Structures are given as C-alpha cells and as structure tokens.
Structure 1
C-alpha cells in the first residue's frame, strides 16, 4: 500500500491574525479549508510561527496553500512606504510566510498561492507590488464591490489569457468551450495590490486584458544545484476556491495541486526519504 493510500497528504494553511473583540486570533477562511479537502488533502491551519519552527512544519506537510485575505502585504517588504494608512495590514503573517515560501519552494514542495498568497510569493522572491492597481494609468480597477451580495462580488469579472506551455495551461488542457475559448477564461477579481515587478525566476502563466499578471509559477535557475527542480507551484491572483466544487477551471487547479501533494508525500515517505530524488525533472522555460 502506498503512502498516500495510508492517509491523505497534509497541506499547511497559514492563518491570518485578526482582532476579534479585544483579543488577537489566528483565522483561516472556510472556503480555503473546503478547497484543500476537495483536492484530496488534509488542511492544517497554522498560527504565526517562529523562524526556528519552519523546518519542522515543512517536515510535517506535503503542500502549502497560501490564502487570500483582506490585508495587504506590507510595502516595506518591497522597499516602499505605506501609501494608504486606511488599508489593513498583517505584519505577523508577513513575518513568517515570506521565509516559509522561500524554504518550501527550494524543497520543491507543492504550493498554491491565492490572491494575497500570490502577492506574498512574488514579494518573498524579490518582486514588488503596485499598492493600488486602480491608480496606475492604463490599468483596470481589479477590486471587488463589497456592497454587493457575495455571489455577485465573487462573480466573473474579466477574462485572463493563458500563456501556452505553462503549469496552468497544462492543468486546464482539454477544457472545452465555453469554459476556455481561444486560450481565455473568465475569473473573479477582488484585489487592490498587484504585481509591479515580477520576481526573478517567475514565469507568467496568465494575463488580464490590461497586462496585469494574473498567474505565475516559479522555477529555480538552471544552475542552482541546491534547489529541487520540477516541483509544482502555481500562484493565482483570482479566487479559485470560490465555488471550487462546481467551477471547471477551479476543479482542474485543485486536482493538479492535490495530485502534486500526493506525489510529494509518496516521495517523502519512500525508503530513500528524500522527495528531491523523486520529483520529476522538467525542462524549464526561458527566464524573463
């Protein structure tokens, strides 16, 4: 019996810190937890961790899901001052997810970043963000309307264009019209921040009509012999966890993530005990 038949892969879900009443709590949205289970994995919500705890946490798991959040990544992490003091921040989450991301990706651990999680990965790897995409000349307003019913707020907003040959393109291969038409499909949009400079080693997977990066994956340099090559990671600016069980695009994304987590677990628990020995080698696309 294989390792993934003994128990499903464990996926770390880093929590946000919120003040509820007069006290701080660590929280994670239910829709993310449900989506991890949809992927065939066991969600493990993790509170803010110390630096020396990160390796132990990674040793427990076979994947990471970085959730969206009302909070923004603090601009100090990409060399800027806060431009709008009214917007929520979560420095406690930033402090440990950014180093966690770097460690996980170098292990080749499967990672799925959603909205804030998408932005965290870019910043963790040295990229930068627009603090307000809607204030940039020529760019759309990508924010959601919180005054609408949630079904409308999370409804389809704009198309994205797939980049041929990437991880997202492979995950969605074979989806027929009207879901994917001419390499495009519809997504929701609820973000104020967005990619300004894409991190080195990141490959664009999808673009919005205004050119804003909507999806990317990261690949270590070809001559980086210490990082695991070929691991699954995918970062999405939209919210695939919303109605993930019924949306064909979301179903494919979480299936690909779950399969990658199961493969990583099987390799991790194999007699060699080294996932890096079993991660499939892939030919990396040209760097930016």
Structure 2
C-alpha cells in the first residue's frame, strides 16, 4: 500500500545528474549526483517532485521529456566544455563534465521545442546559451573591467551564498514581474564563467554592474523559460525573488501536469506538438 502522505499527482521535474569520481586514486568510483539544495527547492518552493534519469543519453531525451512536467538545469562545480562553442579550454584545471553536456544541451533544445517549462541556474544558464548557439567567457575574473564573480574561499556556506551584487532588470520582462517591478535586485551570483555571445532567440533581462548578462528569457517559448546566473535555490523560502521564481515555475509545471493527465485520460500516449 502506498504511504498516505504520498502525492502521486505531484508534477515531475527532471534534474540532470552530475558525473563525479569520489574516492582517492585507484579506489575512486563514478557517482551520479544531484545537489540537495536544488532538489529541496523543487520540492519545497515549487511544490513538485524532483526526478533523475541516471545514464540518460541524448537519444532518450524526447521520450523522457514526454514523461515529466518541467526541467531544472542546476548549477555545478563543472563547466560546459568549451568545444561546444568552438574553443579549447583556457585552464587545464577547468572542471568539466562532458557526460552531462551530452544530455543537457539536447534537453534545452527539445524542451523549448516541446513547450516543457525550463528553469536554468548558473551552469544551467550557460548550458541554455551554448545549446542555442551562444558562447561563454571561460574566466570572467580575468577580463578587464569585470568583477570577480567567484564565491569567496574558506567561508561558511551562508556567507558564500549571501547576496554579492545588484543586477539591473529589464522592466518589460518576466523577471521584472517576478521582482515586483524592481529595477534592481541583489543576488547571490557565484560563478567563474559567463555569457560572452548571447545565443539567437534569447533575451538578456538582467545585467551585473560590470555589464555581464545575469539572466535570460526565451521570448518565443511556449511555456516558462527563464535562466539566471545566480542561485535562487539557496534557502528559497527566505528570499522574495527566489520564492517568486520557484512559484512561477511551479505553476507552469502544474499546468503541464494537468495537460499530460488529460491526454492520458483521452488515451493519447504522447504530446500532440
């Protein structure tokens, strides 16, 4: 018998796995990981059920998207491999995750095509930009006139994820509505890479004081499509803008859940796109 507190009608949100080796030397073993703070934000602030598809590949993406109600592309210690925008890595120590790239870049394109609600966070914003034909600065902190957007080393997480700088928000954007019309908001932006060339079809809707793009929207999207360079998952219930982002995403995935449920009731096994 199912537990009585299990809500089988909750929307399902696909969250990608990070691929890591854990352990020392020859004893290191591969693991597929998902950060607790991202899953918890989906569960608590979007009121949805996070799911993972371990060992998914690009070919399986359309079928898997048909089984979920939204996608959150999480942040990660790893970066998108620069080969996806025609460059070699500038730093040999750059942490990469090509197995994740294979899946998430395909997820971006398919989710937008199929109208699946999409939220990108930090690496997720960069994945969206690269998947659609944009490029990245590999080391923002080395660029003249730019801030060092990386988190401070050797401090507690609460300090690392504290607001670091303001961003200016485009007034006629989804993000502006979620920010209550505020022209500026303070964000906990922690990253080493950032958007260099904005992908076709994306619109920059927030900028850091140094001009770096900090949020994008996809105006042609058929559903919720927003990506931010900061971390709204961090204790999302304590921050007004973070809460608003997750609520809006949650509303979008519930709408898709209702549509999927209706199709199942009508005997249609796949979305009529």
* Structure 2 match to 1:150: 157
In the alignment, what sits opposite 1:249? 241
Mapped partners of 1:256, 1:275: distance in 2:
22
Q: Which residue number corresponds to residue 191 of structure 2?
A: 191
Shift of 1:230: 2.9
Alignment CA distance shift 1:77-1:55 (3 Å): same
> CA contact under 8 A between 1:67 and 1:117: conserved in structure 2?
yes
CA contact (8 A) 2:140 2:149 kept: yes
Kindly indicate whether the alpha-carbon contact (under 8 Å) linking 2:167 and 2:187 is maintained by their aligned counterparts in 1.
yes
CA contact (8 A) 1:159 1:184 kept: yes
Q: TM-score normalized by structure 2?
A: 0.90
Bigger shift: 157-166 or 260-269? 260-269
Q: Distance in 1 between matches of 2:51 and 2:244?
A: 22
Q: SS in structure 1 opposite 2:51?
A: strand
Q: CA deviation at 1:270?
A: 2.2
SS in 1 for 2:152: coil
The answer on whether the counterparts of 2:69 and 2:253 sit within 8 Å (CA) in structure 1 is: yes
2:218 is equivalent to residue 238 of structure 1: no
Hey, what does 2:88 align to over in structure 1? 81
Corresponding residue of 2:173: 166
Select 2:40's aligned residue among 30, 34, 40.
34
- Residue 93 (structure 1) aligns with: 100
How many residues matched?
A: 258
TM-score, structure 1 normalization: 0.85
- Select the residue among 97, 115, 120 that pairs with 2:122: 115
Counterparts in 2 of 1:251 and 1:105: CA distance versus 1, 3 Å: same
Once the two structures are TM-superposed, the CA of residue 275 in structure 1 deviates from its matched residue by: 6.0
Per-residue CA deviations over 1:131-189 (Å, capped at 9, x if unaligned) read 00111111111111131111111111000111011111122236xxxxx4xx1110012
Counterpart of 1:45? 52
Note the residue ranges of structure 1 that are not aligned, 5 or more in a row: 175-179, 221-228, 278-288
Could you tell me which residue of structure 1 aligns to residue 19 of structure 2? 17
Distance 1:209 1:84 in 2: 26
* Aligned mates of 1:42, 1:169 — CA distance in 2: 27
Q: Is the 8 A contact 2:112 2:222 kept in 1?
A: no
CA–CA distance in 1 between the matches of 2:226 and 2:272?
Answer: 19
Q: Aligned-pair distance for 1:190?
A: 1.1
**Match status 1:206 vs 2:212:** no
Contact preservation (8 Å) 1:264, 1:275 = no
Unaligned runs of 5+ in 2: 1-6
Cα deviation, residue 219, structure 1: 3.3
Give the Cα–Cα distance (whole angstroms) in 2 for the partners of residues 195 and 169 of structure 1. 20
Corresponding residue for residue 144 of structure 2:
137
Residues 107 and 276 in structure 1, CA contact (< 8 A), matched pair in contact too: no
8 A Cα contact 1:16 1:47, kept in partner: no
1:210-258 Cα shifts (integer Å, max 9, x gaps): 11000001134xxxxxxxx431111000000011011111100000000
